[in-house]
Structure 1
């Protein structure tokens, strides 16, 4: 798909392109966004992002949540809020950036799926015989323009690096951006709060992404290297599953794939994408 054919609901958003630390002063970063080669540079004058095809026309740029964001429009819609990032006692750790041969919506949908925990993340996020996905609630919020899944509960042998035993973990899922999702889960270090794990997908192409992972956690004991290693292990288990998805783009037609109860959040997510007119990385619903 050419850039001119990408829906405004995608073009008008901020899109992630790299961790802030990936671009040091005097450095240059070449990457691809929505099929368009772009170049980011950092000089004494600041951060600059341009399309390779239009090097004299700077793009909008933003540094937020540990990452660099850009857009193909002059005034993008505001980036979604993540207030936990600014809480002073939290650890904000850029965990990894993985290249994955899959569409961004497929990656987000996988992030929402609790049903695969016992089979893909065995003895970490799940284990047999604890395979049931219990009833939970999903809503599409018009005010916040996001998908929200609440009352999600799942037994996990090791829910986080700080966990010392298995427990039933409470989850809340937010999808505030077509290609980004934020997960809140029980915090072993403080039962009154949630740890936060975010996936920000950079749509390199319709069937290729860079998945950028952010941890925003209450953890006074683990090193950053340990926190990164734990999350990299989890996503490393997801990567081959994602790359074997077929089709790689996400079908928006509700008849395309058979839904089950565990797919409630995925069904809402697909409906939300369809309503917004998102056409990049998906197979649109036929009229």
Structure 2
């Protein structure tokens, strides 16, 4: 793990909801300890499925049995979209909407939670980047000579202030765990929060619907994260183990790229790194972070 950085003083990030843990990987009445924004935070689940979160206390070590409601000074908390969420500031009453999550035939589960030596914005930007598919995910999400990123549209929703990248297409030899041959795949990217992003992707089992893959990034420090892979799929054939293996294989291919980013923090200066046409979503994301006044995990524009 990277050395802890200074405690976050970015009010925008402090007031965000951040994921801590997959709910189905917890037991009621047991203390779990993790990190958020260079602080140690703990939580425990109640018997009725609520999460109580607090700044870590010396008398409540990880694994300790506890009545969560007896812990004083709790932080804001939510159990939503598979995860325990918290905030170190004054968050909104809600995180964001995922209407598809509630469709009865979907399989919703945590694909994996992986620690990565990278800043949260770098992780999100890498998730947005289709251009690396043929070179990093050869034979899976891309393959030479199919290297072209088809022109696509990027806009910011006026009501939600979310980034949407639409009309994205890319040729993929194995687009999902169930794919048997290469195909052009339709993508839609949606950035809901500075460190949370969803991908809507062509669904092999239901051509008129989309599978959802989310990257919900927990910024442990400025340059170390826990990446939570949210999955909401229309797939009643593949085992969860098979799907998780596919997701983890793809993420493992990204790890060397992510952990060798230099600098680890994301530069927001438009001239810091040379953009190309396929970087349209990345450019919009950097500008959006700058407009929000984000300073944590980034190198602000001069």
TM-score interval for Structure 1 and Structure 2 normalised by the shorter chain: over 0.9
- 1:226 deviation in Å? 0.7
Per-residue CA deviation, residues 217-272 of structure 1 (Å, 9 max, x unaligned), is 11010011111111111111111110001110000110100000110000000000
Give the secondary structure class of the aligned counterpart of 1:171.
strand
- TM-score when scaled to structure 1? 0.95
Output aligned runs, 1:16-35, within 5 Å: 16-35=19-38
Output aligned runs, 1:255-266, within 5 Å: 255-266=271-282
Matched, 1:11 2:20: no
- 2:218: which partner in 1? 202
**Is residue 119–residue 126 contact of structure 1 (8 Å, CA) maintained in 2?**
yes
Output aligned runs, 1:199-238, within 5 Å: 199-238=215-254
Per-residue CA deviation, residues 160-198 of structure 1 (Å, 9 max, x unaligned), is 111121100010000011001100111111110111100
Output aligned runs, 1:68-83, within 5 Å: 68-83=84-99
CA distance in 2, matches of 1:196, 1:75: 25
- 1:53 deviation in Å? 6.2
Matched, 1:98 2:101: no
- 1:58 deviation in Å? 0.4
Give the secondary structure class of the aligned counterpart of 1:30.
strand
Per-residue CA deviation, residues 188-209 of structure 1 (Å, 9 max, x unaligned), is 1111011110000000000000
Output aligned runs, 1:144-155, within 5 Å: 144-155=160-171
Give the number of equivalent residue pairs.
285
CA distance in 2, matches of 1:138, 1:267: 10
- 1:42 deviation in Å? 2.5
- 1:51: which partner in 2? 55
CA distance in 1, matches of 2:182, 2:288: 34
**Is residue 59–residue 74 contact of structure 1 (8 Å, CA) maintained in 2?**
no
Q: Higher mean Cα deviation, 92-101 or 22-31? A: 22-31
Give the secondary structure class of the aligned counterpart of 1:57.
coil
CA distance in 2, matches of 1:218, 1:112: 22
Q: Which runs of 5+ in 2 are unaligned?
A: 59-70
- 1:28 deviation in Å? 1.2
CA distance in 1, matches of 2:204, 2:8: 47
Residues 74 and 12 (structure 1), Cα distance of their counterparts in 2 relative to 1, 3 Å cut: closer
Matched, 1:193 2:209: yes
- 1:2 deviation in Å? 4.3
Q: Which runs of 5+ in 1 are unaligned?
A: none
- TM-score when scaled to structure 2? 0.91
Give 2:290's match in structure 1, choosing from 266, 274, 279. Answer: 274
Give 1:247's match in structure 2, choosing from 258, 263, 266. Answer: 263
CA distance in 2, matches of 1:136, 1:38: 40
Give 1:162's match in structure 2, choosing from 152, 159, 178. Answer: 178
- 2:39: which partner in 1? 36
Choose between structure 1 and 2: higher strand proportion.
Answer: 1
- 2:68: which partner in 1? none
- 1:136 deviation in Å? 0.6
